[in-house]
Structures are given as C-alpha cells and as structure tokens.
Amino acid sequence: MLFYILSFLKSLSFIDYVLFFTVIFLLILIVSLIYFIKINEDNVSEIELSDPDNLKQIASLMAKTSPKPVKFTSYEKEQEDKAIISYDELLENTGQFSLNYLEEQNIEDKKDISVKKVDLEHLISPSLTNDLPKPKQIILLKKEEEFLEALKELQRLLI
C-alpha cells in the first residue's frame, strides 16, 4: 500500500504540488476569516447590550446636536430659486393644514369604513383642532348574541 502511495506522489509534477498546497492554504484562510468574523459579531452585540450608559450618552448627544443643513448643488440651488415654494417653507408648513369635512357617515354593510363629505367652500383649515367627533359605534344586541353563540360553538369544537 505504501508503495502505491509513493508511486502516485512520484508521478505528480511540480505544478500539481503547487496547486494542491495553494488550495489547502486558501481553504485554511477562508475558514479562519469566517471564524474571525463570527467572533467579531459576537463581541459587537455584547458591547451594545451590556453598556446602557454608552447608549444614554449617544442619545443625549443626538438630542443636543442640530441636524446639518442640506448642501445643494448648483442645479439644486437653481431649482430651489425657481420653485414656487422652497424646501424650508415646505418643512415649516408640514402638518399645519387639514381638510374641512361637513359630515361623516359609516357604510351600513361595513361598519369599519367611514365616508366623509368634504366642504368645498372652505376646503382647507389652518389648524388641526377642527376634527369631527367620531360617532361611537355600539354593537347591536343581536350581533353580540350571535358572536357569543359562535364563541360557544368554537369552544365546544375545541374540547
């Protein structure tokens, strides 16, 4: 048996040996890289979970710093100047207007869908305090009894 192994090794050329050891070296390298990546991921998660003081410092620094201003390119600056409303005005006016509704109705077949009639004469109101009161939905006694019967039937089937 040893004779056959030695004869096989003698039949290989120098390039075969180089390729064999190169493949072995690459396999060892890949396995070691995967091992180091796994170890590094474990260490990062332990640091994040075990240090709440660090998280408090980061949160306080984020609260203290103001957001950096947007740097426009020349094209964006030109478009900003030509725009009807600027980006800053848009950010300032966000959430200050709401639609005015005349009335709100629920669809009879589907109680969870509501339809609102828009006031076209006074379309937009400047404040959000004019919300319509939502009508309280009361489950009819008949539907409640049907629901309870269905629950009892389900309980009977499960037992």
Q: Are residues 57 and 100 in the same domain?
A: no
Give the domain range for residue 103.
96-130
User: Strand 98-99 to strand 124-125: parallel, antiparallel, or no bridges (unpaired)?
Assistant: antiparallel
Identify the bridge partners of residue 99 per DSSP, sorted by sequence position. 124
Structurally, the chain folds into a number of domains equal to 2
Q: Residue 104 in 3-state DSSP?
A: strand
Give Cβ neighbours of residue 84 (< 8 Å, ≥ 6 apart). Answer: none
Q: What is the pTM of this model?
A: 0.27
Least confident of 17-26, 96-105, 123-132, 135-144: 123-132
- The per-residue pLDDT for range 25-60, each reduced to its tens digit, is 999 999 999 998 888 876 655 555 556 667 777 777
In tens, the pLDDT along 87-116 reads: 777 777 776 667 777 887 777 776 677 788
Q: Look at residue 123 and tell me if it is in a domain.
A: yes
Compare 14 and 85 and report the one with higher pLDDT.
14
The half-sphere exposure of 43 on its side-chain side, counting CA atoms within 13 A, is: 6
